[in-house]
Every structure is written in C-alpha cells, then in structure tokens.
C-alpha cells in the first residue's frame, strides 16, 4: 500500500538519483574515482594505511623498482611488448625471505602501483612470484590478476585477494593462517575473504587456519581457474597471461570505468549501485574510443582504441 499511496515516488527516486550522480560524479578524473564517500580506497585500513603506503618521513626506496629485471631486484616490473603490449607483470623476487612482505618490498610495491595508476598504456597487470614454489594489487584502476603457482599463505593470500581475478595451480597452497600465531589477518583478509567466498566459510577458514590446495580453493570460489602444474612451474602465470590477452582488445577507458562501477557498487545497496553505474556509463559516452568502436563495427574491422 505504501507504493500505491505514493504515486510520485518513482519520479522522486529518479530525481534523487540524478542529484546523487551530479553530486558524486561530475567527472571522473585521471584516477577514475568517484568523489565523496565512494572515493575512499577499498584496500581496508591495515593494507591501505600501513602495508601499501611509503613510510612517513621520506620517499619509497627505489632499490628493486626497475623495468629491466635485474637479478638482485626484489620486485621486477616488466612491460611486455609486441602482441602482449599493455600487459605489465609485477614479479616478486625475494627468495631469501620466501617472498615475505617486508617493509622495503611494500615500499617498492607502493611505488610501482603509483606509477602504473597514471600510465594509460597499461591495460592489465599480472602479479606473480619469480621464486619457484611461493606466491607471495593493489588499488589499481586496471584489471589485476594474481597468478598463484606455489604457496600463498597469510600476507601472500591477502595480496592475491586484493586482485580482481585469481588463478592457481592445483598444487598451490593458500590460506589465512594468522590465528596459528595468535593474531588475525591484518592486511585486508578479514574483509576481502568474506566478500570473495561468503561470511560463514570465511570464518571457518580463518578460525581453523586451514590451508587449501588449488582444487579446494576453486571449489569454494576463492579462485577463478585451477590448472595442473607444468614442468616449468608457471601454469598459473600462463593462464593469467591468456586472460590478460583476452582483455587487451577492449576499450581501455571502458575497462577502467567498468572496474570502478563493480567495485564501488558492491559496497552499497542496489539503488545506489545503479546510480553509480549510471554515472560511470556517462563517462564513456563522450570518449573518442566509443566513436571508434561504433565506426569499427560499421566498417567490420577491429577497433583501434587509444584510451581517449
């Protein structure tokens, strides 16, 4: 009866949504973020405020942040070329520390993330381990894929949970095991795991500190794809690369805005989420890429998107 008694409710709702869109997203800027409460980082207090940010009092260390992939680097940033142009691989290479997230490594990741955020040539980012048998982004505007070919325990799994998509080898091992040390997951694990697999199962895994293999992780929805490990030990990375290649032909502006709409919309009710979608959709209409997509469709040829 409440609906029948309020014939102007739909109009009021539409007007309210229009005001919401105007107030919260007059224009998506270079960072592709909505203003207001939606603009807050979704990394969670621990990961956002501590693990990813450079230490106060000085810039992040530059050691290890290199696109040349020096053997001593703890973080290798590789911009792939030719048919893989637009794909960036962040390779964690801290063998002596079993890829544990040290302060220096976190600074390097933060530095790399900040640089990649503003690089419009970047289409997809793969995070992998370059240490055999161990995995161990981030609030990035482009799709991110975690390739888990070995161990991803504690902070390693929290890093993977911060990615959009996770793929793993069947022999991989992953879990939030912090309760064994009388602490809790403090890098976003208590927030992202329930969002990924549901509250009840997330509690069970965290309370028990249970470790899952790739098949078990796929069964509970923790990862999207599981592969039999190959002799080279990089089955998950190869699958991640295949996925990244699927993303490459799509409009880069649309990819960024779609990710924003999904991430922000999942944090609010459906009506507000639809308003966010409307605001994000509006940002794609005036782009040169949209016109190029229409022209390419008419001319029956692959589009040549420029991210504009």
Helices 270-285 & 288-299, crossing angle to 10 degrees?
Answer: 70
Handedness of CA 249, 250, 252, 258 (dihedral sign): negative
Q: Quick one: how far is CA 42 from the chain centroid?
A: 10
CA neighbor of 202 nearest in space, from 184, 215, 226: 184
Q: Is 178 a catalytic residue?
A: yes
Choosing from 74, 130, 158, 277, which is the catalytic residue?
158
**Number of Cβ within a 10 Å radius of residue 284:** 17
Q: Is 299 a catalytic residue?
A: no
DSSP state at residue 229:
P
Choosing from 74, 130, 178, 277, which is the catalytic residue?
178
Q: d(Cα 175, Cα 177) in Å, to the nearest integer?
A: 6
Angstrom distances, CA of residue 1 to CA of 9, 10, 14, 89, 264 = 13, 15, 20, 57, 33
Q: Which residues are catalytic?
A: 158, 178
């Amino acid at each position: 009866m409440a609906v029948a008694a309020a014939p102007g409710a739909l109009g009021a709702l539409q007007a309210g949504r229009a005001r919401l869109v105007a107030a919260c997203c007059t224009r998506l800027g270079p960072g592709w973020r909505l203003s207001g409460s939606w603009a807050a980082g979704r990394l969670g207090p621990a990961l956002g405020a501590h693990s990813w940010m450079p230490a106060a009092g000085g810039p992040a260390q530059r050691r290890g942040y290199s696109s040349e992939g020096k053997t001593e680097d703890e973080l290798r940033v590789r911009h792939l070329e030719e048919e893989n142009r637009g794909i960036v691989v962040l390779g964690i290479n801290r063998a002596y520390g079993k890829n544990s997230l040290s302060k220096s490594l976190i600074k390097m990741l933060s530095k790399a993330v900040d640089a990649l955020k503003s690089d419009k040539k970047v289409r997809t980012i793969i995070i992998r381990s370059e240490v055999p048998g161990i995995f161990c982004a981030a609030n990035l505007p482009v799709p991110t894929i975690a390739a888990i070919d070995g161990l991803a325990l504690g902070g390693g799994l929290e890093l993977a949970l911060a990615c959009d998509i996770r793929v793993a080898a069947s022999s991989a091992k992953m879990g939030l095991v912090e309760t064994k040390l009388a602490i809790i997951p403090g890098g976003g694990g208590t927030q992202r795991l329930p969002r990924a697999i549901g509250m009840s199962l997330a509690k069970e895994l965290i309370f028990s500190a249970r470790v899952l293999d790739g098949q078990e992780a796929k069964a509970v929805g923790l990862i999207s794809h599981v592969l039999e490990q190959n002799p080279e030990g990089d089955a998950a990375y190869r699958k991640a690369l295949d996925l990244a290649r699927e993303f490459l032909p799509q409009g880069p502006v649309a990819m960024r805005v779609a990710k924003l709409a999904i991430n922000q919309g999942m944090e609010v009710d459906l009506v507000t989420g639809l308003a966010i979608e409307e605001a994000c959709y509006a940002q794609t209409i005036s782009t040169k890429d949209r016109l190029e997509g229409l022209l390419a469709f008419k001319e029956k040829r692959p589009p040549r998107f420029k991210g504009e």
